[in-house]
């Protein structure tokens, strides 16, 4: 990724910012999704999958940065510590570069078009998140599918498309469910620290569930999340107990289980062989 930035970005000051952004990246799960789907469908061109995987990680990084800038979250990130206009221009360069790099993996017009379709779908999901559009569980799941699901489907579907030349609807379908699981995990982690989602009363699945106030614990938690001085004084064990009493943890686990079952059911239709299916599942669900 760093080498690509060095080759493609001629403005040295801009390159320095982008290299610093990349330096902060310590996971490459989306590249792994692309690679393992490519191999599962018998892809052979090592250089092509390297371009795709690198471009995908640059794209994911750009979307993470956009998300932080839009939510004014994650204050410790390097892009949150610099002038916002510089950060915005730099991340736009990163996003544009990511598209260019991914498109170099294949010269087929349909390949580039699908990449853009996924990116645009995720941007529209992000818009719904920013304006807090979801008012129901169904609407929230649709928003998650668009925002997180599309970004998760991109490496899986494009890895297969690079290997076979074809869009695979089953792969797309279960990949969206994987994105929902990932978002539920993020929402769960967010329950244990006072983040902007609760301060701004964002309609996450957890918050929508709490707002129904099925019991006293739900009402107590809603009040707690709006009182920073009280929230910081409660320990993790006590908070987890309260979340269990409210039914939030059980609810999120059920939602995850439903998506996981859909993934397994749809993967069984791929007819890749048990070894390849198990390998893919182990990469997807860690």
pLDDT score, position 198: 66
User: What's the structural domain count of the chain?
Assistant: 1
For the chain, the 3-state helix, strand and coil shares in percent, each to the nearest 5, are: 75, 0, 25
| pLDDT > 90 in the chain, percent | 85
For residue 203, give Cα distances in angstroms to 140, 198, 211: 7, 9, 9
Q: What are 168-225's pLDDT values in tens digits?
A: 999 999 999 999 999 999 888 888 876 656 667 889 999 999 999 999 999 999 888 8
Distance of alpha carbon 249 from alpha carbon 66, whole angstroms: 29
For residue 24, give Cα distances in angstroms to 76, 207, 217: 11, 30, 39
pLDDT score, position 196: 55
How many other C-beta atoms can be found within 10 angstroms of the C-beta atom of residue 2?
Answer: 12
Q: What are 98-109's pLDDT values in tens digits?
A: 999 999 999 999
Q: What are 254-276's pLDDT values in tens digits?
A: 999 999 999 999 999 998 988 99
Distance of alpha carbon 250 from alpha carbon 15, whole angstroms: 46
Q: What are 108-132's pLDDT values in tens digits?
A: 999 999 999 999 999 999 999 999 9
pLDDT score, position 187: 87
Q: What is the dihedral of CA 190, 196, 197, 200, to 10 degrees?
A: 150
pTM: 0.94
Residue with tokens 């792969």: 171
Distance of alpha carbon 190 from alpha carbon 184, whole angstroms: 10
Cα dihedral 34, 36, 41, 44 sign: positive
pLDDT band at 72 (very low <50, low <70, confident <90, very high): confident
Tell me the CATH number at 160: 1.10.600.10
Distance of alpha carbon 285 from alpha carbon 91, whole angstroms: 29
For residue 242, give Cα distances in angstroms to 90, 99, 196: 42, 44, 20
Tell me if 54 sits within 8 A of 4, measured CB to CB.
yes
Mean pLDDT along residues 3-15: 97
Best CA proximity match to 178, nearest among 157, 198, 194:
157
The first and second tokens of residue 273, run together, are: 């062989």
Q: Is residue 40 over pLDDT 60? A: yes
For residue 126, give Cα distances in angstroms to 71, 96, 112, 258, 286: 11, 18, 21, 24, 25
Domain interval for residue 271: 2-284
Tell me if 77 sits within 8 A of 68, measured CB to CB.
yes
Q: At what angle do helices 84-103 and 46-71 cross, to 10 degrees?
A: 160
């Amino acid at each position: 990724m760093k080498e690509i930035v060095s080759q493609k970005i001629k403005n040295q000051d801009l390159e320095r910012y982008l290299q610093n952004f990349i330096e902060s990246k310590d996971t490459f799960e989306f590249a792994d999704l692309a690679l393992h789907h490519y191999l599962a469908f018998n892809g052979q061109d090592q250089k092509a999958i390297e371009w795709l995987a690198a471009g995908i990680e640059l794209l994911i990084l750009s979307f993470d940065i956009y998300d932080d800038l839009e939510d004014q979250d994650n204050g410790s990130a390097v892009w949150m510590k610099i002038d916002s206009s510089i950060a915005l221009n730099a991340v736009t360069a990163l996003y544009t570069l990511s598209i260019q790099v991914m498109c170099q993996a294949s010269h087929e017009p349909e390949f580039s078009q699908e990449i853009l379709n996924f990116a645009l779908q995720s941007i529209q999901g992000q818009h719904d998140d920013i304006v807090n559009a979801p008012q129901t569980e169904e609407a929230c799941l649709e928003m998650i599918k668009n925002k997180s699901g599309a970004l998760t489907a991109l490496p899986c579907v494009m890895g297969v498309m690079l290997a076979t030349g074809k869009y695979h609807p089953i792969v797309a379908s279960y990949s969206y469910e994987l994105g929902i699981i990932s978002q539920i995990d993020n929402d769960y982690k967010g329950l244990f620290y006072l983040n902007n989602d609760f301060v701004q009363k964002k309609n996450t699945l957890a918050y929508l569930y709490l707002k129904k106030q099925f019991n006293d614990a739900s009402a107590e938690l809603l009040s707690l999340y709006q009182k920073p001085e009280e929230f910081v004084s409660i320990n993790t064990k006590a908070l987890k107990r309260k979340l269990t009493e409210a039914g939030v943890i059980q609810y999120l686990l059920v939602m995850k289980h439903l998506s996981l079952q859909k993934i397994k059911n749809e993967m069984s239709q791929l007819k890749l062989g048990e070894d390849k299916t198990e390998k893919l599942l182990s990469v997807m669900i860690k």
